[in-house]
Structure 1
Amino acid sequence: MLTLDKIYHAAYVLKSVARKTDLIAAPGLNAESEIYLKTENLQVTGSFKVRGAYYKISQLTADEKAKGVIASSAGNHAQGVALAAQRSNIPSVICMPDGAPISKVEATKAYGAQVCLVKGAYDDAYDYACKLQKEKGYTFIHPFNDAEVIAGQGTVGLEILDQLPDVEVVLVPVGGGGLISGVAYAIKHLHPECKVYGVQAAGAPSMRDSVQKHEAITLDGVATFADGIAVKHPGDLTYELVSEYVDGIVTVTDDEIAAAVLALMERQKLVTEGAGAVSVAAAMYNKVDIKGKKTVCLLSGGNIDVNILSRVITRGLVMAGRNSTLTIELEDKPGQLSGVSDIISRCGGNVVSVHHNQSDTNMAITSCYLRVGMETRDHAQVEQIKQELAKAGFKLVANQQ
């Protein structure tokens, strides 16, 4: 059973292991709200997961420790379990989806764990870990559906209340639900007036759908670059806790998450993974009513795969209107490109790519399509450029992309 005493005990046990991460003001993320960031992306191992994993392992019996531990994870829980096992001098086996970022796989191995890559998503890795646990007799460390793991994650809630006692809204990333279960339990028992909302990726809304249907459901599949919360089935225990203590679950798209990752890098100098940025995406795009409220966005992790970081940044630039593309139908004669570039320059845009197409069968033989890539300030500037091009007689044939 989860209790407040257990969360306080977890906080005591974790004092020598987990950092009390900073709560920092972030006024530029939503002008209508007083935003603060709980920086678990700067936690040991790069995410909050070490809290629950370490507390769970610390409570095992000598016999359970002697058997070694096994876990399934998309990456962050893997590192938490591996570090906790290493500190306790016990062997660990981690089953990870084969699509897990290489950086997370290698970091897990660096903590001394034996890694088994399993084809599919997190839930497939979980099934294989359960199979190995029965065959080998390991002690299973569940990433979220365990009262002691949840108690460890709940210590984040205690810290938030200590750092901002009059907090009004807390936004928490949700995958299987372990983090929000612990945070919501702690906050609702100590500061019940505070609203706690969960945020999921639109491509993996298992907890939101479960709450809406009043039963823990299993999605057919998940599709999001926020691999840390790509969970097809929430925990049964976490589902019950979320149903009782959480005020609502909202979703954000991958494009909105990418924009949040970019905003955190540019404005706050913080690197987060997709799962870690969903709370900020919800605040930036007003998925929850936070106007005029002291709001904490929990950044759950910072272990983003550098191989996709550039793509995430590019997508974030597009979402923010900072990187845009226009396609223009032109008469194929001298001076047309100069006219287009002059207008873009006069409006403050910067041309970064040009593609000239004379072979499209849908246009007149004497015409061509000009595809122009631009760096711009925001969507308003893009609209200004479109309007000025139209005034000059240029025909736009495609929307901004």
Structure 2
Amino acid sequence: MTDFSPLDSEAASKRLNNIVKRTPLIYNAKLSEKYEAEIYLKREDLQVVRSYKLRGAYNMISQLSTAQLNRGIVCASAGNHAQGVAFSCDKLGTKGVIFMPEITPRQKVKQTEMFGNGQVELVLVGDTFDDCLREALAYTAAHNMTFIPPFDNYSIIEGQGTVGVEILQDLPGADVVIMPVGGGGLAAGAGTYLKSKNPHIVLLGAEPEGAPSMSEALTQGAPVTLAAIERFVDGAAVKRVGELTYELCARVLDDMQLVAEGKVCTTILKLYNEDAIVVEPAGALSVAALDAYADKIKGKKVVCVISGGNNDIERMQEIKEKSLLYEGLKHYFIVRFPQRPGALKLFVNNVLGPHDDITRFEFIKKTNRENGPALVGIELANKADYNALVQRMKEFKFEIIELNNDQTLFEYLV
């Protein structure tokens, strides 16, 4: 076994007894059949606060001195860590001040208030986690309180490692474990424990394509601050991973996989429609990465960690849209209709295929309707129908700009 002190996730498990829920490890028949492997889902979406973050937060806060608890604690979080801290504040009777980005889904804000049960004050500031982190650290110093970091702390990492303890207790013969990676706390903690018990277990990290902070750190040999990130997978979108988490992940992870945000959305919808599992974007990362590892996992016992289920229902339309775009089933065009009578009728009757559906139609120039350019959104039943649709547009002399291929115009118009 490899020594990874000062982490002791087995001791943390005892500390968390009767506080966190021992989440189930559930065999998934559909995924197992698809990938010719034994696929199990570690359901942290069923945790008390619907994510694994409670484990690290409580593990750290419960070890603070009475004086520290009396002064209160501060944290910065995109949502799930905040809920874990809030729950811990209520259980331990300490005041908490929680900083969250202004763009945090409303559902996560309300949940944090609920779990805090009057023990926490929420401050919404900044556009990203990194923005609110700066404010939280300044507030901590000014008020002589204790900061509870979301991932870069041994007590936090050790607490997240209890996910790994439970996995090996329930499936001692696990061959592969796939974990989502944001700041790296879960992968560092659970990965450290799993490798220490079985050096041959394969540990894979899944990270959003638009926020490849751990992948970039592993490539560069040290944590780096990304200039910009895509915030959609909010639970795993950080500009810079932790120093401690990087060091541990570099030792224990066998590979990292970047997952497109659209693929994450497709996975969210499939898990909901096929298994009645509600996951947030970060929680879908591990399952979304399965396609990339299909050859490696065949015949293996594979665990995918579903890290959280705090998904705001108001985001579902956006999730569906991103999935359709990624799958090649939704396309947007600027269409200039021919200057002749019945052009719109011709478009509907002769250009659209029998299973194509117009989902958006608006003239761009409000003063030049009927023959000016129009923004048209079309949903296809089959990705393969796209080329024929474009060909028919050209045959009937409709001038088009394919917005899916022009990111600047797409963002501006759609």
TM class, shorter-length: 0.7 to 0.9
C-alpha deviation, 1:333, in angstroms:
7.1
Report 1:247-326 matches (<5 A).
Answer: 247-286=254-293, 289-323=296-330
Q: TM-score, length-normalised on structure 1?
A: 0.85
Cross-structure match for 2:184: 177
C-alpha deviation, 1:285, in angstroms:
4.6
Correspondence 1:217 to 2:221? no
**For residues 124-165 of structure 1, what are the alpha-carbon distances to aligned partners after superposition, in whole Å with 9 as ceiling and x for unaligned?**
222222212111111111111111111111111111222222
Which amino acid in 1 is paired with 2:203? V
Asked if structure 1 preserves the Cα contact closer than 8 Å seen for 2:363 and 2:372, the reply is no
> Which moved further from structure 2: 349-358 or 258-267?
349-358
Q: 2:212 aligns with which of 199, 205, 211?
A: 205
Cross-structure match for 1:167: 174
Q: C-alpha distance in 1, partners of 2:126/2:391?
A: 52
Asked if structure 2 preserves the Cα contact closer than 8 Å seen for 1:330 and 1:370, the reply is no
Secondary structure (helix, strand or coil) at the match of 1:45 reads: coil
1:355–1:107 CA distance, 2 compared to 1 (3 A): closer
1:344–1:285 CA distance, 2 compared to 1 (3 A): farther
Correspondence 1:344 to 2:357? no
Report 1:40-79 matches (<5 A).
Answer: 40-79=44-83
1:131–1:353 CA distance, 2 compared to 1 (3 A): closer
Asked if structure 2 preserves the Cα contact closer than 8 Å seen for 1:2 and 1:151, the reply is no
Aligned length: 389
% identical aligned pairs: 33
Which amino acid in 1 is paired with 2:151? F
C-alpha deviation, 1:340, in angstroms:
3.4
C-alpha deviation, 1:53, in angstroms:
0.5
Cross-structure match for 2:149: 142
Q: C-alpha distance in 2, partners of 1:294/1:388?
A: 47
Secondary structure (helix, strand or coil) at the match of 2:238 reads: coil
Q: 2:28 aligns with which of 26, 29, 37?
A: 26
> Which moved further from structure 2: 315-324 or 36-45?
315-324
Q: C-alpha distance in 1, partners of 2:121/2:84?
A: 14
| Structure 1 unaligned regions, length at least 5 | 360-364
Cross-structure match for 2:164: 157
Asked if structure 2 preserves the Cα contact closer than 8 Å seen for 1:21 and 1:43, the reply is yes
Correspondence 1:98 to 2:102? yes
Cross-structure match for 2:19: 17
**For residues 58-85 of structure 1, what are the alpha-carbon distances to aligned partners after superposition, in whole Å with 9 as ceiling and x for unaligned?**
1112222121111111111011001001
Q: C-alpha distance in 2, partners of 1:329/1:130?
A: 54
Cross-structure match for 2:412: none
C-alpha deviation, 1:328, in angstroms:
8.5
1:87–1:218 CA distance, 2 compared to 1 (3 A): same
Cross-structure match for 1:362: none
**For residues 33-56 of structure 1, what are the alpha-carbon distances to aligned partners after superposition, in whole Å with 9 as ceiling and x for unaligned?**
433221111211111000111111
| Structure 2 unaligned regions, length at least 5 | 405-414
1:372–1:134 CA distance, 2 compared to 1 (3 A): closer
Cross-structure match for 1:192: 199
C-alpha deviation, 1:226, in angstroms:
0.9
**For residues 241-265 of structure 1, what are the alpha-carbon distances to aligned partners after superposition, in whole Å with 9 as ceiling and x for unaligned?**
0111111222112212212212221
Q: C-alpha distance in 1, partners of 2:8/2:94?
A: 24
**For residues 181-213 of structure 1, what are the alpha-carbon distances to aligned partners after superposition, in whole Å with 9 as ceiling and x for unaligned?**
011011111122211111111221111111111
Cross-structure match for 1:124: 131
> Which moved further from structure 2: 97-106 or 71-80?
97-106
Q: CA-atom RMSD, angstroms? A: 3.3
C-alpha deviation, 1:387, in angstroms:
10
Correspondence 1:237 to 2:244? yes
Secondary structure (helix, strand or coil) at the match of 1:95 reads: strand
**For residues 263-298 of structure 1, what are the alpha-carbon distances to aligned partners after superposition, in whole Å with 9 as ceiling and x for unaligned?**
221222111111111222211354884344332221
Asked if structure 1 preserves the Cα contact closer than 8 Å seen for 2:179 and 2:304, the reply is yes
C-alpha deviation, 1:5, in angstroms:
7.2
**For residues 70-108 of structure 1, what are the alpha-carbon distances to aligned partners after superposition, in whole Å with 9 as ceiling and x for unaligned?**
111111101100100110011111111222222212221
Q: C-alpha distance in 1, partners of 2:93/2:375?
A: 64
**For residues 296-333 of structure 1, what are the alpha-carbon distances to aligned partners after superposition, in whole Å with 9 as ceiling and x for unaligned?**
22111111233322111222133335545688998767
